[in-house]
């Protein structure tokens, strides 16, 4: 990676973290979601680290999303789960080790594993592959939280905010040059989640 690319990537991550801080500070979740959508579109349209290739029509139109649904926002306890470890090939970045730290019970949908990314700095990671995968959303799934990159909706008292309206596609959905950790078996639900980022 060149020095310029390293600085650009650091700036991308900083802006993502700032965007999620603005979301957490919003007085209303729907308002925070609108802020997030606009900020994500701005980054994808203008930032040199955007995963969208030059000339991609999504740079002009913005990323497609389902309408915000307040019923899909939860504040959930992180329940204990049996320890598990996954080593995920992330291409040029090497291998990422994920350690299961708990499970979330999503009302009406099932359970999702919560992973700790066991690399320098660490972070919580919650991918999701639901019944829309392969048609309405990317076949490999979407991400709900990735605190390593600042994608964190907060929580208090041992509970996590999980808002399915913030499900977003990983960079590999837009550019095959990226290699992304996809949703393992414990992060798959059969029900369709028509919320968050979609294919079209």
Q: Give residue 120's Cα distance to chain centre.
A: 19
Residue 5 near residue 142, CB atoms below 8 Å: no
Distances (CA, A) of 79 to 63, 73, 76, 111: 33, 18, 9, 10
pLDDT in tens, 57-72: 999 999 999 999 999 9
- pTM of the full structure: 0.93
Model pLDDT, residue 119: 80
**Taking 80 as the threshold, does the pLDDT of residue 89 lie above it?**
no
Model pLDDT, residue 92: 62
Measured over the CA atoms of residue 15, residue 26, residue 126 and residue 131, the dihedral's sign is negative
Tell me the C-alpha distance between 200 and 184, whole Å.
24
* Mean pLDDT estimate for the chain: 92
Pick the closest to residue 16 from 63, 50, 62 (CA basis): 50
Q: Give 56's contacts (C-beta < 8 A, 6+ positions apart).
A: 174
Which tokens go with 104?
A: 């979330």
pLDDT in tens, 107-118: 999 999 999 998
Residue 64 near residue 151, CB atoms below 8 Å: no
What are the residue boundaries of the structural domains of the chain, listed by start?
Answer: 3-187
Model pLDDT, residue 96: 82
Model pLDDT, residue 149: 85
What are the phi and psi torsion angles at 178 (to 5°)?
A: -90, 145
């Amino acid at each position: 990676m060149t020095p310029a690319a390293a600085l650009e990537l650091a700036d991308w991550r900083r802006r993502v973290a700032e965007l999620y801080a603005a979301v957490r500070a919003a007085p209303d979740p729907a308002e925070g979601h609108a802020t997030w959508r606009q900020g994500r579109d701005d980054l994808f349209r203008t930032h040199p680290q955007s995963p969208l290739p030059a000339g991609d029509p999504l740079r002009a139109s913005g990323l497609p999303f389902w309408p915000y649904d307040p019923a899909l926002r939860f504040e959930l306890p992180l329940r204990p789960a049996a320890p598990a470890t996954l080593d995920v090939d992330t291409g040029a970045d090497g291998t990422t080790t994920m350690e299961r730290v708990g499970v979330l019970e999503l009302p009406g949908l099932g359970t999702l594993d919560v992973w700790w990314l066991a690399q320098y700095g660490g972070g919580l990671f919650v991918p999701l592959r639901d019944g829309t995968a392969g048609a309405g959303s990317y076949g490999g799934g979407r991400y709900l939280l990735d605190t390593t990159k600042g994608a964190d909706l907060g929580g208090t008292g041992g509970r996590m905010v999980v808002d399915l309206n913030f499900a977003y596609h990983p960079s590999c959905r837009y550019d095959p040059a990226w290699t992304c950790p996809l949703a393992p078996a414990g992060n798959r639900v059969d029900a369709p989640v028509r919320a968050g980022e979609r294919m079209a």
